[in-house]
Amino acid sequence: MSITNSQYDQIMKKYEERQLQSRYELDERLAKISRLAPEFPKLTEKISSLSVAYGKQFLLGDDSALTRMKEELSLLKQQKEQLLSSIGFSLKDLEPSYTCTLCQDKGYMKNEKCSCFKQQIIDLLYEQSNLKDSLTENNFSKLSFSYYEGEDLQRFENAVKTCRNFIRHFNLDYHNLFFYGTVGTGKSFLSGCIAKELMDAGYSVLYFSAVNFFERLAQISFHSTSKEELDNLFDDLYSCDLLIIDDLGTELTNNFSSSQFFSCLNERILRKKSFIISTNLSLQELRDRYSDRIFSRITSNFDLCKITGPDIRMYNKRLNNRK
């Protein structure tokens, strides 16, 4: 699963904190039990001493020692259970309470990541993606072809097929996607569908609207007081498994934004890190608005998916107003 070393350390630190907390809570329970039942520590010590004594006898050749030990320990365990019950506790209260009983808050089962560790990675990926809230609506469970007909329907069906292939072969075959076409036809929706599937599989995804993307670059580049902050941003942009830029063309275009956009495009292509870009611009408008080298990078390295049809957002709004 795709996380940085610092993110891994962040998760492992949580496990350490959980173990310390469970140890502290256990010590508190044992102290309370001892206050309420002063004979409890003596009973515990007796059980421990008995085990050691019979163990020595068994090692010295007394084969019946184990049988006698089991019988006495069974009686002492019953006494302990009765004593605990009389003060509102049970034998379970003598063990640490773990958040995850499978790995006992270690994060690993033998040499394999526990399911709770994998879930923490997915949660972390959702948090950093900028997509956490929108994916309740932008996912394949909400997919509908009912808004399209004719050539529009064929284009959308082809786009969905391309998206599913992109997900299926994500780790095997390097591809980028460029969604373009008319307003409100499902380009951002399909980007979200892909993002959710990949994050649920443990891949890192970053999403930006074009406006936010270029504002963020400008803010960090011109106002950052920390070189580390700048390095971290560019490392995220260049290293995440999938970078999504939505609504390209809505940002203020200037020499700085074009230069930064090309750098990001070029670097991710060189690193074979996938990109999804959506825009309402036509290919001709894309060429006119951006430099030839940006247009060339996109048309040469992206699968182009044209999506046309009605504005779904406006359609649904009109439908809701009639109710």
Q: Residue 223: what pLDDT?
A: 63
The Cα-based distances of 320 to 148, 317, 323 in angstroms read: 19, 5, 5
Residue type, 222: F
As a dihedral over the C-alpha atoms of residue 14, residue 16, residue 17, residue 21, rounded to 10 degrees, the angle is: 140
- Which one-letter amino acid corresponds to residue 189? F
- How far is it, in rounded angstroms, from Cα 77 to Cα 121? 42
Question: Within a 10 A sphere around the Cβ of 222, how many other Cβ atoms?
Answer: 8
> Are β-strands 274-279 and 242-248 bridged in parallel, bridged antiparallel, or unpaired?
parallel
Helix (H, G, I), strand (E, B) or coil at 174: coil
pLDDT at 230: 60
User: What is the token pair recorded at 159?
Assistant: 């786009």
> What's the CA gap between 217 and 205, in Å, rounded?
18
Per-residue pLDDT of the chain (323 residues; tens, 9 = 90+): 467 777 888 899 999 999 999 999 999 999 999 999 999 888 888 877 777 776 677 666 666 767 777 777 788 888 888 989 999 999 899 999 999 989 999 999 888 888 888 888 888 877 777 777 777 788 899 999 999 999 999 999 999 999 999 999 999 999 999 999 999 899 999 999 999 999 888 888 888 999 988 887 777 667 655 556 566 667 778 888 999 999 999 988 888 888 889 998 999 999 999 999 999 999 999 999 998 999 999 999 999 999 999 888 776 666 566 55
Assign domain 130-322 to its CATH superfamily. Answer: P-loop containing nucleotide triphosphate hydrolases (3.40.50.300)
- Nearest CA to 230 out of 260, 266, 206, 254 is that of 260
List the Cα angle 20/23/26 in 5-degree steps: 150
280 and 249 in contact (C-beta within 8 Å)? yes
What pLDDT does residue 85 have?
92
Nearest by Cα to 260 from 245, 247, 273: 245
Tokens of 56: 């020595």
- The order of strands in the sheet holding 177-181 is 205-209, 242-248, 274-279, 177-181, 303-307
Region at 105 (left for phi over 0; alpha for psi -120 to 50; beta for the rest)? left
Contacts of 40 (CB under 8 A, 6+ apart): 33, 34, 80, 83, 84
Reading the block at residue 246, the tokens are: 């939505």
Predicted confidence at residue 226, as pLDDT, reads 57
Contact 197, 124 (CB under 8 A): no
pTM of the complete model: 0.71
